[in-house]
Every structure is written in C-alpha cells, then in structure tokens.
Structure 1
Amino acid sequence: MRARKGRRVTADVVPLNRTREPSLDPIMALVATDMNRVNQVILDRMQSEIPLIPELAGYLIAGGGKRMRPMLTLACAALLDYQGSRHHKLAAAVEFIHTATLLHDDVVDGSGLRRGKRTANVIWGNPASVLVGDFLFSRSFELMVEDGSLRVLKILSSASAVIAEGEVNQLSAQRRIETDEQTYLDIISAKTAALFAAACRIAGVVAEREPDVEQALDAYGRNLGIAFQLVDDAIDYLSDGKTMGKDTGDDFRDGKVTLPVILANARGDEAERKFWRDAMHGRRVSDEDLDYATGLLRSTGAIDDTLARARHYGQRAIDALGSFPANRAKAALIEAVDFAVARAY
C-alpha cells in the first residue's frame, strides 16, 4: 500500500518469539495436574439447588476458554516452587471473578457471541445472566475467605473493585471520540490487566515470598494483561468470528473508542475525523463503513502501532521475570507472553 503524504506505513510487526509459533502448550502442560484440581473446585462450587445457576454457569465455563488467568496463578506458584495446595481454590476464585465479569459485560454490551457460541444473555436473558454473575462473585469470595489470608482477600477484592471501575470508565468513554490514549490505557489497565496482575501476585502470597517478589509477579501479570487487551482491540478489526469467537467489528458498531480508533482519528484529515465521529455515534455502522474504517486503520499505521505497543508491554512483562532463575515455569510464562502478542498473526 502506498503511503499518503504525512502518513507512515510501518513494516509488519512480528511476535516476540521468532523461532517458532508461540503456544500456550508449555504452560498448559506445566499446570495440567493442578488444573484438574482447580476444575474440580470450579465444578463443585458452581453447584446450587436452583437448577438455572449450574446450567448457565456451566454453559459459560465450559465454553472453550483457555482458563489463562487461573493458569497464571498455578504457573507463578510453580515458578516459586510452591508445594502446597492453597493455590487450587484461589485459582478457582480467579476464574469465578473472570466468568462473572464476562456475564455482566455481555449484558452491558448486548453481545450475542462469545468464543464462537451464543452468549448466556441471549439464551437465558439479561436478568438471569446478571444474577448468576453475582452468584459466581459470591462463590469467589467464599473461596478467598476459606483460604484465610487477609492479604489474598485484599488483593483479589481490590482487583474486583478496580475491574468494575474500569468497566464504568469504559461505559463513560463509549462513543466519545475525544477519548485520549491515557484514558484508554487507564480503562484496559483496570478492566483487563488488574485481574491478570492479581492472579499472578497471589502466588507470591501463598508461597510466603518477599514483597519484591509479589511486585515482580504483579508487574508481569499487569503488563501481560495490557498487551493481551491491546491485541484484542487490534484484531477486532482484522479477524473473523471463527478466529475471535465474536463478530468482527463489534467494538466499531458498539462505539468503543479503542486505541486503533484513537490513533487513526488523531492522524486523519478533517473528512476522516468526521467519519470517526459519525461511526462512534452509531451513524456509520454498515459493513461498507467497517471496511472503510479498517482501511483507515491500516493506512494510518494505527493497527501496526497498536500491536507495537502490545509488543512493548509484552517485553515489560518478560523483563519483570528477570530476577527469577531459569526453569520450566519461567519459560512457560515467557511463552505465554509471546502467545498473547502473536494472536494477531
């Protein structure tokens, strides 16, 4: 593609790991035995005498997610050579928090597809989805209390509050094309990265490590979470429903002002900025409008630069592990970063 005057078209961004295609296989193999125990906790604790609760919760939990957040708890525990079992219930608590937020998010967004399947709110309705999400939040706090650590309770409860703040902030910014990059980063740091950070940090607590170890794990998870969301927001415009597990252009049609849009709008001429204003306000949402938007994102370098930022935060996540000795767990955690970034390719 020929660059227009004043435009910069960058080279394709490559994953951090250039020797082979990154995968979650190493981290999945590392935590496989522990993950079986976590899954049993999840299965046990989502039960209820009210049949709709396990039916709806089970539908989403079994919906094909990789369970990345609880896997991070387990892998960070392995990194610290933790030999106990507390991390099983806490990893389940992390997954319940995540699942509850998904249920609530789909209601707020009016989503119809997640991980390639119809969303729970489409099948059972918004009220049931919200209430079962509340049930799962309650189960997560039961598991935290059973663990008995006020430190763990503080980390995970604070993360839950921050996630909610991030979602409200995102709702406030919806359809506001004047949203700036810092506001966007604040939103994704809260709604996505906070749980990644907490999931990693609690491993340091159960392993009874020093505060600097907790902080390093927090930094790893937080930067990984930011990179993960940056990639998600880029490939919302690039991938199909089969790959993403949701409809292409959902963010565009919902008026979500993500980083690719922020960058393209800032670099556009007057006509293009008018297009973005109209699009974010719901006046330009056809398939042809989406195609035009995607073209602008490419020609302005907005997609490439969003992915470059993802690589930057991914490298920061890897750097946060620098003080830990090389072992199987560290290698798996590093490859998880490579995988998160490489999903765009």
Structure 2
Amino acid sequence: MQLTKKVIAQALHRFDEMFEDTMRSEVSLLDRILQDIAAHKGKQMRPMFVLLCAQLGGEINDSSYRAALLVELLHTASLVHDDMVDDAMKRRSAFSVNALWKNRISVMVGDHLFTKGVLLMLSNQDFDLLKIYSDAIRQMSEGELLQMTRLNKLHFEEQAYYDLIHAKTASFLAAACAAGAASTCREQAAVDRLHAFGRQVGMAFQLKDDLFDYGHTDIGKPTGNDIKEKKITLPLIYTLQHSDTSLRKKILHIIKHKNTDREQVNFILETVHRTGGLEYATEKMFAFRDEAFQLLYTFPASPTRDALEELVRYTTDRKY
C-alpha cells in the first residue's frame, strides 16, 4: 500500500493523531483498556477508503476526518463485542479485552467506543454521514442475527451466502466509501457510485477472508474454524452443490455432529480442495473486484484513483 500511504500521507498522520486522542479517557480503567487497544490497532484500511474517496471528490476536510474516525471506532467496537461473543482470547497477536477483563467490561468498552463515535458526528451536525453509517449498522446487526438462525439449518444456496456477506461486511465498507465521498462531493450520483464501489470491494474482501479458512498460510488462527462454527461459506457451498448425495450427506453430518473432530474437519478441507471449491470462490472474488474497478474507472484518472485501485488489489492479494 505504498502509493496509498504516499497519496494521503498528511491526512493519515492527522487521522492517527485524532484516533490517539479519541482513545483516551479520564476513567483510569477505561483509559488503560483504550490505550491497549490503540497499541494493537490494525491496518486501518477502512479509514483509508474514507479518506481516498473523500479526496476523489474534493479536498479532505474536517467532516472527512470525522467520517474516517467514526468508521474506525465502530469497527473497533464491533471487534470488542465479537471477541466477547466468540470467547476469543487473542486479537492481533495480543490478549483480547474479553480475555483480560471478561464480558461485562467488554460490553461497556464496546458501547463506549460506539457512543463516542456517534456523539462526535452529532456534535458536529454530520447528520447525513451518520445516516449513511446507521443504515450499514442496521444491516450488520441483521446479518449477524440471520447467521445465528442459520447455524442449525445449514443453508448452502449461493445467493443466500451473498446476501449474508453483503449485510455483515460489504454494507459497512460501502458506507465508509459513501461517507468519505459525501464529505467533499455534492454530486449524489458520484456518492452513489462510490457506495456501490465499496459494496463490491467489501464482497471481495469477505470472500478473501473465507478463502483463508481453507488455506495453508499462517494467518494467526487454525484453518477449518468456519466449519467448527458451522459456517458454510462459498468454497464449501460449491463443493456441496457439486457432490453426489452420499458425499453431501457425509459433509453435512460432519458439520452438524463432528465439527470439532480435527480429522473429520480435515476431510472436509481436503474435499473442498479436490472438488474445486477454492478455485470457484477465487473466481467470484476477482469478479467482485473487477466490478469495483469498473465503477472506479468512471472517475477521471488521478493519483487518488490509482491509490484506490492499489488498495482494492491489496484486499484480494493480501496474505492475512
């Protein structure tokens, strides 16, 4: 992401300062936890998308920075809550908030981050930007609940999978791109195009994450984790749809009743490899990426557009 960081270097520096200031509190326990979270922050791709989409439409301004800050606060809050729900001990090679402080404090920390981000927008009257994010949060929540209701039914329809990852992942990145654009651009058609662009990138991003679960690269978690959690993603959907009745029943039986048996999980992983599930999911990932490029290329050529293209390619080419 060298070009990306070069094109918005000053903006990223200011964003980092704002994020560090936000991750502080006069409450000593909360301040300690927030500082620990900030010390192990991720790649901050979502703020990069916000700032680049803002710069594509005009000059980055205070609203752009707040839109970038809100997306990172919301994302961080969701990770804190996810770790609590999943009882995850590690996050980015460090102990999670849940591991150190347990559920009650994890809920409060996540709520604090969420509320702080919303208040930031309200106090600056960024109502349009907040509305964009609010709709994405609604879709994310509905997507999570929908996935929970499907765990015991084991759906393996391809369109249902796309609908789910759109709600859980793509809607949020779409909102980030749209909010960035809306902070500098008054042309609604351009904002809508970047919203659609972000959605397609988000679809490709989630497909890449789902492919990791069937790979051999060390990504900090064991492969086959989705199977253990009874999550049927596209590589497995393809395999189920292209298996005979006997094999399909065997796979579904393992997922329902033997999903913690390492040997049985490995059987599914090997079957997905053998039947071409990874190749199919990879093709679909690149198809979503290319659709994102088609939308991006409707904007005039510029270093900012090139940086966005680089960032998109990173989402599909990353190793973790």
**Per the shorter chain, which TM-score range?**
over 0.9
Q: Which residue of 2 aligns with 1:42?
A: 19
In the alignment, the residues of structure 2 paired with residue 62 and residue 269 of structure 1 have an alpha-carbon distance, to the nearest angstrom, of 50
Change in CA separation of 1:157 and 1:255 when aligned onto 2, cut-off 3 Å: same
Structure 2, gaps ≥5 residues long: none
Q: Name the aligned partner's letter for residue 323 of structure 1.
A: T
Q: Relative contact order, CA 8 A, sep 6+: which one is greater?
A: 1
Q: 1:64-107, CA deviations, whole angstroms, 9 ceiling, x for partnerless residues?
A: 41000011001111222314232112211110011111111222
81-90 vs 227-236, which deviates more? 81-90
Q: Is the 8 A contact 2:227 2:259 kept in 1?
A: no
Alignment size in residue pairs: 320
In structure 2, relative to structure 1, the CA distance for the partners of 1:275 and 1:128 (3 Å cut) is farther
Distance of 1:236 and 1:59 partners within structure 2: 28
The farther-off stretch of 307-316 and 243-252 is 243-252
Deviation of 1:317 after TM superposition, in Å, equals 0.8
1:285 corresponding residue in structure 2: 260
Match of 1:236 in 2: 213
| Cα shift at 1:170 | 1.6
| CA positional deviation for 1:246 | 2.7
* Identity across the alignment (%): 34
How far off is 1:180 after superposition?
1.8
For the residues of structure 2 that align with 1:77 and 1:326, how far apart are their CA atoms?
Answer: 15
Query: Counterparts of 2:264 and 2:95 in 1: how far apart (Å)?
Result: 25
CA apart distance, 1:160: 1.5
Deviations 1:222-278 (A, max 9, x none): 1000100011001112144xx423332221211112112222122222332233223
Aligned to 1:330: 305
Partner of 2:5: 28
Q: Which amino acid aligns with 2:4?
A: I
Does the Cα contact within 8 Å between 1:174 and 1:256 map onto a contact in 2? yes
Asked whether the equivalents of residues 3 and 307 of structure 2 are also in contact (C-alpha less than 8 Å), the reply is yes
Q: Choose from 88, 103, 122 the match for 1:145.
A: 122
With the length of structure 2 as denominator, give the TM-score of the two structures: 0.93
Assess, with a 3 A threshold, how the Cα gap between structure 1 residues 123 and 173 changes in structure 2: closer, same or farther: same
SS in 2 for 1:244: coil
Alignment of 1:206-285 (within 5 A): 206-240=183-217, 243-285=218-260
Q: Give a deviation string over 1:164-202, Cα, whole Å, max 9, x none.
A: 111111222224323422221111111111111111111
Task: Give CA deviations for 1:276-331 in whole Å, capped at 9, x if unaligned.
Answer: 22332242323222321111111111111111111000011111112211111101
User: C-alpha deviations, 1:138-167, integer Å up to 9, x for none?
Assistant: 011012113313211210111112111111
Give the Cα–Cα distance (whole angstroms) in 2 for the partners of residues 83 and 60 of structure 1: 27
Label 1:48 to 1:151 Cα distance change in 2 as closer, same or farther (>3 A).
same
After superposing the two structures, state which structure 1 stretch, 215-224 or 47-56, moved more. Answer: 47-56
Question: Following TM superposition, by how much is the alpha carbon of 1:62 offset from its aligned partner in structure 2, in angstroms?
Answer: 3.0
Q: What amino acid is the match of 1:54?
A: D
Which whole-Å CA distance do the structure 2 matches of 1:326 and 1:149 have between them? 29
C-alpha distance in structure 2 between counterparts of 1:83 and 1:178, whole Å: 44
1:142 partner letter: L
Residues 30 and 258 of structure 1: is their aligned pair in 2 closer, same or farther, counting only changes over 3 Å?
same
Out of 213-222 and 257-266, give the one that drifted further: 257-266
CA 55–47 in structure 1, closer or farther in 2 if over 3 Å, else same: same
1:59 aligns with 2:59: no
For 1:161, the equivalent position in structure 2 comes to: 138
Shift of the alpha carbon at 1:117?
3.0
| Aligned equivalent of 1:340 | 315
Query: 98, 105, 111: which one pairs with 2:82?
Result: 105
Shift in Å at residue 51 of structure 1? Answer: 2.6
Give the distance between the partners of 1:58 and 1:188, measured in 2 at CA: 31
TM-score, L = length of structure 1? 0.87
Give the one of 147, 159, 174 matched to 1:182: 159
Question: For structure 1, which runs of at least 5 residues remain unmatched after alignment?
Answer: 1-23
RMSD between aligned alpha carbons? 1.9
How far off its partner does 1:36 sit? 1.9
Q: Is the 8 A contact 1:264 1:296 kept in 2?
A: yes
Which residue matches 2:57? 80
Q: Which moved more, 1:133-142 or 1:332-341?
A: 332-341
- Which has the larger helix fraction? 2
1-structure distance, mates of 2:224, 2:94: 17
